[in-house]
Amino acid sequence: MVDTREDRAIALDGIPDPALRRDDFLIPPAVGGSFPLTAYLAGNSLGLQPRATRAELMADLDAWEQYGVHGHLEADRPWFPYHEELRDPAARLVGALPREVVIMNSLTVNLHLLLASFYRPTPIRHRIVIEDRAFSSDSYAVRSHVAFRGHDPDTAVLRLRPRPGEDVLRTEDVIATLNDHAHSIAVVMIGGVNYFSGEVMDIPVITAAGHEIGAVVGWDLAHAAGNIPLRLHDWDVDFAAWCSYKYLNAGPGAVAGAFVHERHLDDPTLPRLEGWWSTDPATRFEMHPESEPQASADAWSLSNPPIMAMGPVRTSLQIFDDVGMDALRDRSLRLTAYLRELLTDLADRGSLEIVTPPEDDRHGAQISVRVAVDADNLTDRLSDNWGVVADDRRPDIVRLAPAPLYCTFHDCWRAAEAMSQELTGESLG
């Protein structure tokens, strides 16, 4: 029997957990229901604001006020090397060497810059593999690259589909597709954690399988960064990019990240789109007509970074550094296991179907469920009647993501209880 009592959630929250940093975050007030604050289970879409972010932003504004142009070198946190300060914590977050990462641009822009380097089609080897359920932006990005190089997106983009009647990809099927098209695949570019199903892909195994057939393998880590532990360097990933506003809590449209494996950094044959931020900072202001990039992911950056948007990323990475991905993942698994237990009670009563795989190594903080009612309307009612913030993917998926830094067991209980009330008119069993 599942213990669905609210008291159990309260008891679980009573156990001290250093990975819970709720007090460091601003939790939005609830618009409905009897609790003052939301149960915010949408951190996979837009993470909440850390309390420290405002002061961080103000400090950068103050420096601009005080120093004007001299802030580039004289501000307390000078702007010229600002992004270099983010390199070490970002590298720790994704399991990379510092020179393999750079914080810049937005996610889709970074995917384009990386594809410009790593998608080098030949008449035979010209295909890009993505998931059929890739986030739309990724699909548009690879289709446009293929078209840009004169190939037909409808045939050159291979889309990985789950088996009929299934919602998630099986690793063996992914590998079989790679092997079936071994000679025509130039790039494999998949989401590390799928935004729709919440499934975690086997990044090291698929990366190795891609290399086996001679392809370059890149990962979109939008839903993976800050969610699951990553070892990009050791997994031999060629390139990766992620955004900073989902699990990383750096605010809407926050500056994103990119990774290029060390083994590509010294390769003079690799083409790259460049700007003045690509060149070695030691000689940048000599304004040479040719760039002299360092052997670092910085070589992919183009422009001077948006300083007013960098502070929130700094704050975010600081929190992840303090907590550590292992402790955070431990808490995350306990939260999702609890939420899943409660949702299973509803699944057993036929009210919903859980789409996200149950195995620890196959899911992150998100549980996606399929409902028999209009999902958009359901998430509205969860918010209006219960103060539970979840989101839906048309037509019938509701995504619940207890982000472990600020979500509690009680938030999970509230979400499941609200789902139960809205779907069955009764409390959890």
Ligand X SMILES: *Cc1c(COP(=O)(O)O)cnc(C)c1O
> Is there binding between residue 119 and ligand X (CB under 6 A)?
no
Minimum distance from CB of 404 to ligand X (Å)? Answer: 19
Nearer to ligand X, 185 or 224 (CB): 224
Minimum distance from CB of 144 to ligand X (Å)? Answer: 13
Minimum distance from CB of 43 to ligand X (Å)? Answer: 12
Minimum distance from CB of 292 to ligand X (Å)? Answer: 29
Minimum distance from CB of 141 to ligand X (Å)? Answer: 8
Strand partners, 220: 191, 241
Per the CB < 8 A criterion, the answer to whether 157 and 128 are in contact is: yes
Indicate which single residue of 107, 160, 255, 416 sits in contact with ligand X (rule: CB under 6 A): 107
> Is there binding between residue 251 and ligand X (CB under 6 A)?
no
Q: What values do phi and psi take at 207, rounded to 5?
A: -60, -45
SS3 of 183, please?
A: helix
Strand partners, 370: 353, 397
Distance CA 75, CA 71 (A): 4
Nearer to ligand X, 194 or 379 (CB): 194
Nearer to ligand X, 184 or 194 (CB): 194
SS3 of 421, please?
A: helix
- Please give the residues from 17 up to 56 whose contact with ligand X meets the rule CB under 6 A: none
Q: Which of 418, 423, 413 is nearest to 341 (CA)?
A: 413
Contact track, ligand X, 181-220, x by CB under 6 A:
----------x---x------------------------x
Minimum distance from CB of 9 to ligand X (Å)? Answer: 29
Minimum distance from CB of 73 to ligand X (Å)? Answer: 31
Nearer to ligand X, 255 or 299 (CB): 255
Nearer to ligand X, 223 or 264 (CB): 223
Distance CA 20, CA 321 (A): 14
Indicate which single residue of 142, 189, 200, 243 sits in contact with ligand X (rule: CB under 6 A): 243
Q: What values do phi and psi take at 108, rounded to 5?
A: -65, -35
Whether the ω angle into residue 78 lies within 30 degrees of 0, i.e. cis, is no
Minimum distance from CB of 334 to ligand X (Å)? Answer: 24
Alpha helices in 187-249 (DSSP H): 203-212
Nearer to ligand X, 33 or 364 (CB): 364
List C-alpha distances in Å: 180 to 32, 207, 288. Answer: 53, 16, 48
Q: Which of 376, 427, 421 is nearest to 398 (CA)?
A: 376
Indicate which single residue of 13, 95, 106, 170 sits in contact with ligand X (rule: CB under 6 A): 106
Nearer to ligand X, 317 or 423 (CB): 317
Minimum distance from CB of 44 to ligand X (Å)? Answer: 8
Distance CA 89, CA 92 (A): 5
Distance CA 365, CA 329 (A): 9
Per the CB < 8 A criterion, the answer to whether 257 and 228 are in contact is: no
Total of residues contacting ligand X (CB under 6 A): 12
Q: What values do phi and psi take at 288, rounded to 5?
A: -60, 150
> Is there binding between residue 108 and ligand X (CB under 6 A)?
yes
Per the CB < 8 A criterion, the answer to whether 339 and 407 are in contact is: no
Nearer to ligand X, 118 or 195 (CB): 195
**CB count, 10 Å around CB of 266?**
8
SS3 of 128, please?
A: strand
Minimum distance from CB of 159 to ligand X (Å)? Answer: 14
Which of the stretches 101-109, 208-216, 259-267, 405-413 binds ligand X when contact is defined by CB under 6 A? Answer: 101-109
Nearer to ligand X, 24 or 220 (CB): 220
Nearer to ligand X, 193 or 342 (CB): 193
Specify whether the backbone of 205 is left (phi greater than 0), alpha (psi in -120 to 50) or beta: alpha
Distance CA 185, CA 347 (A): 40
Minimum distance from CB of 136 to ligand X (Å)? Answer: 8
Per the CB < 8 A criterion, the answer to whether 210 and 218 are in contact is: no
> Is there binding between residue 160 and ligand X (CB under 6 A)?
no
Angle, helices 307-323 vs 87-94, to 10°: value is: 50
Indicate which single residue of 25, 40, 118, 135 sits in contact with ligand X (rule: CB under 6 A): 135
Which of the stretches 10-18, 100-108, 114-122, 305-313 binds ligand X when contact is defined by CB under 6 A? Answer: 100-108
> Is there binding between residue 128 and ligand X (CB under 6 A)?
no
Q: Which residues bind ligand X (CB under 6 A)?
A: 106-108, 135, 137-138, 191, 195, 220, 222-223, 243
